[in-house]
A and B are shown apart, each in its own frame.
Chain A
Amino acid sequence: MARILLIDGDEDRSTVTSEALGEAQHDVHHAPTASFALTTLEWRRPDLIVSRAEIPDMDGYALCTIVRSDPKTKDIPFLLLAAGGPTAGAAARAGVDMVLAGSFSSSDVVDSVRRLL
């Protein structure tokens, strides 16, 4: 069981993803914005971060860049969920460990989390 921080501005979609991860025995904490996520990290360090590329106050790549720049959080695995096409260059520059791009299901998310942990 892992502690997962899920960052997604869409409440309905995040509920579906959280439930899928919960069924895989993970403990999921949801943050609707990047600022919520980043001000949570010092108090509730997750084992893995799952973030949408498109979030209300910052894009997921910028969020990952900040996570990677902080010595306290730089080693946390980061899974990016991108609605658009593959963005390998941006992901590599940001330090993202894995990108799920295009069309994918919540079970794809669960599988990717398992592979990263």
Chain B
Amino acid sequence: MSRILVVDDSLAVRRVVELALEDRQFTVLCASLGSEATERIERDSPDLVVCDVFLPDTDGFRICEFVRSHPRLARTPVILMSGAADDSVRERADRARADVLLSKPFSTNDLLRHIDDLLASERADGAGGAIPTRPVHPPVALTGAPWQGDGATPALPLEAALAQLRAAAGLDLALIVGRSGDLIGWTGEAGVRLEMAGALAACVLESAGILGRELGQEPVQGMTLEYARGTVLVEGLGPGTLLAVLVPDRAPLPTVRYHVRKAIPELARAL
């Protein structure tokens, strides 16, 4: 039974879509904010996302980009809904690589038809090993080469890319560390021993990789360490480097994770 995430701040829209989907035996997950949506996407791995373009705390394009840059869920079909589907919205939806832009108002029959088509297409790709018709960015894995992006824009210097990430995500500290624990770059509050922190992050990530192999898992993609007054996220930037960020307690973790993953290609280019 497919799980579909419906994201819209209008309860009326969520409810009418939910009823139509439940009639067709889909499992429906709902969110009214972008931050809730990214949390549900991370936690529940929906088979398809239906998302309004206009949300109180973000927009549907960013939610779509979050899905497209996710290492596990990049292929998840995304349908965006908009009551103002003009050329600029269509263009933005294309850039975000949404599968469908549905104009409001719509009938649930139209929505269901798109959902059926997208899910059937996903099943066909998965079962037959067919080449995906929708371009998908390769995930950034610790053992693989990082995605370099389209190279159309010049790479920012590392310090600037880190500072940009820190500002966007509201981080206290961001470090880039080599696998042997050597500090390559950093930005933020320097009230800690940076070299020690970097070396320990590399060590913990190495241990996580060993644990993963013992448990028969794929190579570790990243780690989340929860402390009393904050969270540390560790993500691979490619072979030989990792990014460790200190997230203050007040920051919404799914949004931070989204900004971190979005910044990874830029940081990798800057190295």
Cβ contacts under 8 Å, A40 to chain B: 104-105
- The reply to whether A73 and B12 contact each other, CB–CB distance below 8 Å, is yes
Tell me the smallest distance from the CB of A85 to a CB of chain B, in Å: 26
- Most chain A C-beta atoms within 10 Å of own C-beta, residue among B13, B20, B109, B111: B13
Mark each residue of chain A from 27 to 39: 1 if its CB lies under 8 Å from any CB of chain B, else 0: 0000111111111
Instruction: Indicate if B130 sits at the interface (CB-CB under 8 A).
Output: no
Mark each residue of chain A from 12 to 39: 1 if its CB lies under 8 Å from any CB of chain B, else 0: 0000000000000000000111111111
Cβ contacts under 8 Å, B19 to chain A: 58, 62
Cβ contacts under 8 Å, A114 to chain B: none
- The reply to whether B104 and A71 contact each other, CB–CB distance below 8 Å, is no
Nearest B residue (CB) for A36: B105
Known: A42-B83, A43-B83, A72-B10. A66 touches B107 (CB 8 A): no
- The reply to whether B11 and A39 contact each other, CB–CB distance below 8 Å, is no
Cβ contacts under 8 Å, B15 to chain A: 38, 66, 69-70
Cβ contacts under 8 Å, A69 to chain B: 11-12, 15
Q: How far is the CA of A61 from the CA of B16 in the complex (A)?
A: 13
Instruction: Indicate if B58 sits at the interface (CB-CB under 8 A).
Output: no
Instruction: Indicate if B108 sits at the interface (CB-CB under 8 A).
Output: yes
Mark each residue of chain B from 57 to 100: 1 if its CB lies under 8 Å from any CB of chain A, else 0: 00000000000000000000000010110000000000000000
Instruction: Indicate if B26 sits at the interface (CB-CB under 8 A).
Output: no
- Most chain B C-beta atoms within 10 Å of own C-beta, residue among A32, A37, A57: A57
- The reply to whether A39 and B104 contact each other, CB–CB distance below 8 Å, is yes
Cβ contacts under 8 Å, A34 to chain B: 16
- The reply to whether A57 and B107 contact each other, CB–CB distance below 8 Å, is yes
Q: How far is the CA of A32 from the CA of B15 in the complex (A)?
A: 18
Cβ contacts under 8 Å, B104 to chain A: 39-40, 42-43
Q: Can you report 15 A-B residue pairs in the complex whose CB atoms are below 8 A from each other?
A: A31-B105, A33-B108, A35-B17, A36-B106, A38-B15, A39-B12, A40-B104, A40-B105, A42-B12, A43-B105, A57-B20, A57-B109, A58-B19, A72-B10, A72-B11
* 9 shortest interchain CB distances as A-B pairs: A43-B83, A39-B105, A70-B11, A40-B105, A35-B108, A38-B16, A38-B12, A70-B12, A39-B104
